[in-house]
Amino acid sequence: MATLPAGIHPFALAWDATRKRLWVSADCPPGVSVIKACDRGALMAVNASGRVMTRIAPPTGSFHPGDVSASVAGVFVSDSQNGAVYRLSKDGYSLSPVIEPGVGKSAQGTALDEAGQQLLVADYSQGIAAVDLATNVRTLLPRQDGKPLRGIDGLTRCGPTFYGIYNGAAPGLLVSINRTTAGIEFGQPLGAFTLPDPTQIAFDGKRLLIVADSGWATIDKPDFKRTAGTPIVAVPIEC
């Protein structure tokens, strides 16, 4: 569909129905031997014909976008290296932080709540947080046993329930996340069914679509050779 400029690689995608754009978080992160590292990735917009229409980043500092989400509240992109989460301006040409760099540690997936007022953010190291979009106040949400829900990568929502990809240990899992007065309650909607190396998740209106075996865990293993492409697991759900 589209080819990104040399030196940066697509990490996550989100369709923006308002602007009719596919938003792509593109990066060249440090610490990956097969990728030449750089200081700044980009949030890119691609039209339905595959043409790159926008390439933006915060005005200063490093930028390593990992996940992106689009909703009625706007487009949000997270930085996997410093924990920041940015919001696209209304004109579509600048980014401003809703979580400042250094407040979190490794921001991953984001998803807007049902009321459109809070953004749930999966910080891989710190757990699930909620950001009040009116004030940008960030609150960490403990799970039902009082501990943080670490190791969550991709995040999406269906009705009041959020769904996340846990890949903090192998094999990975699909988890459900529901808000409570004390924080969150998580479960395993697929029971004991596991995923070998999951990363991203999306909701298409009827199904959860999961990148089930991304190959990220073996990207630095030069002797490893894949024998099949990445499978997408579809999980029918009702909101």
- Res. 143: pLDDT tops 90: yes
Tens digits of residue pLDDT in 101-141? 999 999 999 999 999 999 999 999 999 999 999 999 999 99
pLDDT tier at 81 (50, 70, 90 boundaries)? very high
Sort strands 184-187 and 207-211 into parallel, antiparallel or unpaired: unpaired
Residue ranges of the alpha helices (H) in 114-178? none
Question: What residue segments make up the domains of the chain, in order of their start?
Answer: 9-236
State the Cα–Cα distance between residues 208 and 112, nearest whole angstrom.
16
Give the model's pLDDT for residue 3: 85
Does the structural domain 9-236 have CATH classification 2.130.10.10?
yes
Q: Over range 66-78, report the average pLDDT.
A: 95
State the Cα–Cα distance between residues 65 and 45, nearest whole angstrom.
14
Give the model's pLDDT for residue 33: 85
Helix, strand, coil share (%) of the chain residues, nearest 5: 0, 45, 50
Give the model's pLDDT for residue 1: 80
Encoding tokens for residue 164?
């996340």
Average model confidence (pLDDT) for the chain? Answer: 94
**CB 153 within 8 Å of CB 200:** yes
Q: Over range 74-86, report the average pLDDT.
A: 96
State the Cα–Cα distance between residues 88 and 111, nearest whole angstrom.
14
| Residue in this structure with the two tokens 């996997």, named with its chain if needed | 80
Tens digits of residue pLDDT in 3-35? 888 889 999 999 999 889 999 999 998 888 888
Give the model's pLDDT for residue 151: 97
State the Cα–Cα distance between residues 194 and 114, nearest whole angstrom.
28
Q: Over range 175-187, report the average pLDDT.
A: 97
Give the model's pLDDT for residue 34: 83
Encoding tokens for residue 148?
């943080």
Q: 58-89 in b/e burial notation, b at 16+ Cβ within 10 A? A: beeebbbbbbbbbbeebbbbbbbbbbbbbbbe
Which phi and psi angles does 208 have, rounded to 5°? -85, 130
Give the model's pLDDT for residue 6: 84
- Res. 224: pLDDT tops 90: no
Weakest-pLDDT range from 76-80, 148-152, 229-233: 229-233
